[in-house]
Amino acid sequence: MLVSLAALGTYNLEKVRHAGWWLPVIVVGVLIVGLAASALSWAFTRFAIDGGEVHIDSGVLFRRSRQVRIDRLQAIDIVQPLLARALGLAELKLDMAGGAEGRVRLGYLRLEEAQALRAALLAMAAGLDHRTPEAPQRPLVHCSGGAIVGSALLSTPALIGFIWVAAFLAGAIASGHPGVFTGALAGVISVFSAVWQTIQQHFGFTVADSPDGLRLRHGLFETRAQTVPPGRVQAVRIVQPLLWRVFGWVRVDANIAGYAGHRAEDGRQHNSVLLPVGSREQALLVVGRALPGVDIDTVPMTRVPGRAKWRSPLLWWTYRAGADEAIVSVRSGLLTKAHAVMRHEKIQSVRLSVGPWQRALRLATVHVDSTKGPVEVVLRHRDLGEGRRIVDAEVVRAERGRAMRLPDRWMTTNSGPATTR
């Protein structure tokens, strides 16, 4: 957003020069009103913990009261925007089931108070005394600044931006009119704003292991301390864009219960990333913590029938799928490789779809659904009879998995070696 505002100001620089003294007065006035509104909102916010619930009252002109059942908490994050960091303050974000309506914000508290409150809520959610100290953590992976910046610059949005710039630059040179290049500025700013958002969102990304789950900390200007508790990860995906293969980088995405439907203030979903960039060994380490007891590389995979090339001539040979007693697994991708897995007990529905072209080729696609998120487990273009057998088998495995699964609790024991990058 800052990049876009700077570009807009530069574009209208001449108008700003002739705006007179009133323009800075308006800007300062808006800032003062915004700060005053924030201060009033903070002053009229009260909270209390009673009877297994968090009670929050807020609002200046219109009062609003909310009750959050502690046993239904699915995630508790500590967020520090830049100004809050400078003042030593933090905001707690409490996530429950129910999509965007299940998010409650409590801010701003002193950082020490926010950390203590979060530890108390985590302990109570686990059925422990609220005075139980925060569980210790052990570092697993640290993403270097160079890897974060490099991966963002080698991403698909950045590649589109470079091509866009090159195309308009070539047009300006060929036409002999440099003004042609200015037509690319809006698109370039839009594309590289997304790249910048990725960098500042994931800068300093660290993953740590603790008894209450995976702890993620990241952010350049706004820092976020996030805990992904055991049992909340519904599905994971290891992604490798084309240009990342030079460095052996991959990314780990996840569908996480409690974050379904939540998006950051810039409209993009960030809470689904378990590892923004790292080696495959590091990715497997993180996946192993998110899905305890699962080795995704041991699942036997099968290809689609040869006749699937008439339905998907470029990608048919990349489609592979398989399952064992713990997970269902799919691989695909030519330019961007993706490996997605899901535990059977996390399956919410199984669907078989057959399009007209697939019907002629006796093919079918099996959709294995979980909570909302970036990960889709789709077994594309399987033999029609095989697809029906997969649906029947997954229904049985899902029922068996849910019957044998222990209740999800915040506090469990994790163990294993730690690595850093």
* Count of the separate structural domains present in the chain: 2
Same domain? 346 vs 401:
yes
Angle formed at CA 323 by CA 253 and CA 415, multiple of 5 degrees: 55
Residue 391 in this model has a pLDDT that exceeds 50? yes
For residue 290, give its domain range: 229-421
Residue range 105-133, pLDDT digits in tens: 887 888 888 888 888 888 887 777 777 77
Same domain? 252 vs 360:
yes
Same domain? 167 vs 251:
no
Same domain? 284 vs 354:
yes
pLDDT of residue 410: 56
Strand intervals (E) in 344-404: 349-353, 363-369, 377-383
In a domain, 105, yes or no: no
Same domain? 285 vs 354:
yes
Residue range 61-111, pLDDT digits in tens: 777 777 778 777 777 888 888 888 888 888 888 877 655 556 788 878 888
Same domain? 234 vs 376:
yes
pTM of the model: 0.80
| Residue 311 neighbours by CB under 8 Å, 6+ apart | 357, 358, 361, 363, 381
Same domain? 300 vs 390:
yes
Same domain? 151 vs 281:
no
Question: Please, which pLDDT band fits residue 376 given cuts at 50, 70 and 90?
Answer: very high
What is the rounded CA–CA span in Å between residue 262 and residue 270?
9
Average pLDDT over the chain reads 80
Listed residue (363, 376, 236, 369) closest to 303, CA to CA: 363
Same domain? 177 vs 236:
no
Same domain? 324 vs 192:
no
In a domain, 388, yes or no: yes
Same domain? 188 vs 277:
no
In a domain, 78, yes or no: no
In a domain, 284, yes or no: yes
In a domain, 64, yes or no: no
Residue range 209-234, pLDDT digits in tens: 988 788 999 998 889 988 887 678 89
Same domain? 278 vs 410:
yes
In terms of phi and psi (left: phi > 0; alpha: psi -120 to 50; beta: otherwise), the region of 39 is alpha
In a domain, 24, yes or no: no
In a domain, 8, yes or no: no
pLDDT of residue 40: 67
pLDDT of residue 81: 86
In a domain, 319, yes or no: yes
